[in-house]
Each structure stands twice: as structure tokens, then as C-alpha cells.
Structure 1
Amino acid sequence: MTDLATPDTYGTLIEPTTLKIQRVLPGPIERVWAYLTEGDLRRQWLASGEMEMKVGSTFEFVWRNDELTDPPGQRPPGFSGEHRMEGSITEVDPPRKLAITWGSTGGVSFELESSGDQVLLTLIHSRVLDRTMRLNVSAGWHMHLDVLAARMEGTQTGPFWDGWLRLKEEYDGRLPA
């Protein structure tokens, strides 16, 4: 096992349309895997929805971002209280890797690497073609992973939507035009 360095919490583009973002989370790896794959745990930081852990199985995620933090903050115009998206599992290697299709923006992979009592989560979201969508996706993943880290550490984050809006502005300055 290697010692995990704390990565920058900001995502970076590893290709023009591919975002990579990492977090060091408290382990064990099976606990992090559960937060990725079990609907009742995943809804606490991302979206609800049951998943059958086999390649080719389909699922529906249901986002209710207003429920992730208390208070939720001011929801931006154009966003609703609930969002649904269908996907399918393209790769599964418990408890190390889960890859899924993701609506119209391509694929998302979650890779876990254990080191002692910590786990490095590497998220890669590919084929986000539109820059406005890349800003939304980057801020969204960043904020959702902040909520995940807080849940796993037993702490709180600030209001979800306020954080998302702040991060979207920050990513606007960080990502190429």
C-alpha cells in the first residue's frame, strides 16, 4: 500500500471534454463502495436509485439536492426540486471500480484505492462536450463529493446550492474557455 497524498479538491480536465476529480475519504474501502452503490447511502450525497451490480443492468438516479444539506441554500433558476436520469453499468469490480453511462454526457467512472485507513476516490466524467455543461458538472461533482466527505467524516458542509454557485464561478476561471 502506498501513502495517499491529499489531492487538490478541484477537478481538472485531463482531456478537453473529460473531468477528473479526487477525494481522500475515511475507509475502509468497503464503506466507500457502499456509499457509491447502495441507494439509501448514495441519496445522502448524490442521488437515490437502486442498482443491480452487474454489467448491462440499468438504473434510474433521482436527485433531490435540496435534501442534501440543511439549509439547502437558494436553488438557481432553471433547476427543479427533483431531477431523474437513466443510466447503465458498464464496468463493475467491487470494491475497486464502478463505471456507468450518464445521460447524454457520456460515462462516469469511480475508482477506489485503499491505503491504510484512507481511500482515494478518483472520479472521471467523460464526453462533457459543452463548456456550460462542463462548468455545471464540475461544480456539481465538487459539491457532491464535499457532501460525501462530510457524511463519511460525520461533519457538515455549507448549503448545497450556495456552494454549487460559488464553485461554478470558480470553475469558470479554472477551466479553459
Structure 2
Amino acid sequence: MSSSAENTRTLVIERVFPHTPEKLWRALTETPLIAQWLLKNDFAPTVGHKFQFRSEPMPQWDGVIDCEVLVVDPLKQLSYSWNALGLESVVLFTLAPTPGGTHLRMEHSGFRADQQAAYHGANYGWQKFLGGLERVLAGDVQ
């Protein structure tokens, strides 16, 4: 079985936020803010840093996502691996300033053909997470 890019799917979600790239970057890279919209974590914006996201355990899963920071390009790109439940994937956030705020592109890549349920679950999860990100940004992130 090959793990080449042609054999995998990528989930892409794009949103424009009425906030500066600096404000969005903070919400993507500061541990307490990430915990408010995504999951509990021990993230640090340093390439090579290994960290975990943690959620409530479920019957088939311990609630741990093992990650490693791959790219940190302040105010532009952030990427980390996302490994859980047999899925070895990569999340990439790309920020671009717009006249009224910031365009955010989130790509979650690496879903194999036999991981259709994981792909659909990620689509549902990321829509929910990004909704939470909007709420955090609308709050008092300076």
C-alpha cells in the first residue's frame, strides 16, 4: 500500500475573519487560546516541538492526538502533524491579509481511501472548531 499524495484526500476549509493576522496568529499559537477553540494542548510554536491535543476519552479512543510542529512562519503559515486512530495526517493553516481582516485556509491532508469516516469526521470537527475560533476571536483576544 502506497502513502503517496495521489492516494490521499485533503480537507480544505476557507474563511475570512474580520480580525488582523496578528490576532488570528495568537489564537492559533498560544496554548490557552488554542484550548478555548480546539483542544487542551501543550503546543509551542517551535519547529520540531512534539505535543499532544487531548479530549475526553471515548470507548474506542484514548482522546490523545500526537503532533509535531512542522512549519512556523509567523503571521503566514503554521503546520503540524496530526496522528490519532491510525490516521497520520498534516494540518496546515495559511493566513493572508484582506482589506477587512484575514483569509484563513485550513488544509488537513493525508486521508487514505479507506479512511472515509475519518475524512467526514474531520470535516465535521473542523467546521465546529473554526466556529469556536470565531467565537474566541470575537471575544477579548487583543
State TM-score, norm by structure 1: 0.65
- Output the amino acid matched with 1:108: V
- Whether 1:59 and 2:42 are equivalent positions in the alignment is no
Q: 1:107 aligns with which of 69, 82, 90?
A: 90
How large is the RMSD of aligned CA atoms in angstroms?
2.1
Give the match for residue 37 of structure 2: 45
Higher relative contact order (CA 8 A, sep 6+): 2
1:130-169 superposed matches below 5 A: 130-154=115-139
Q: Which SS does the other structure have where 2:122 is aligned?
A: helix
Give the match for residue 164 of structure 1: none
Could you tell me how far 1:53 is from its partner in structure 2?
Answer: 1.9
Q: 1:28 aligns with which of 4, 7, 20?
A: 20
Q: How many equivalent residue pairs? A: 127
Could you tell me how far 1:151 is from its partner in structure 2?
Answer: 2.5
Could you tell me how far 1:127 is from its partner in structure 2?
Answer: 0.8
Alpha-carbon distance in 2 for matches of 1:25, 1:48? 23
Structure 1 residue runs of 5 or longer lacking an equivalent are 1-14, 65-76, 155-177
Q: Which SS does the other structure have where 1:145 is aligned?
A: helix
Q: Identity percentage over the alignment?
A: 28
Could you tell me how far 1:79 is from its partner in structure 2?
Answer: 7.4
Note if contact 1:46-1:63 (Cα within 8 Å) is conserved in structure 2.
no
Structure 2 residue runs of 5 or longer lacking an equivalent are 1-6
Deviations 1:121-140 (A, max 9, x none): 10000011210111100100
Could you tell me how far 1:78 is from its partner in structure 2?
Answer: 4.8
Give the match for residue 8 of structure 1: none
Alpha-carbon distance in 2 for matches of 1:98, 1:43? 16
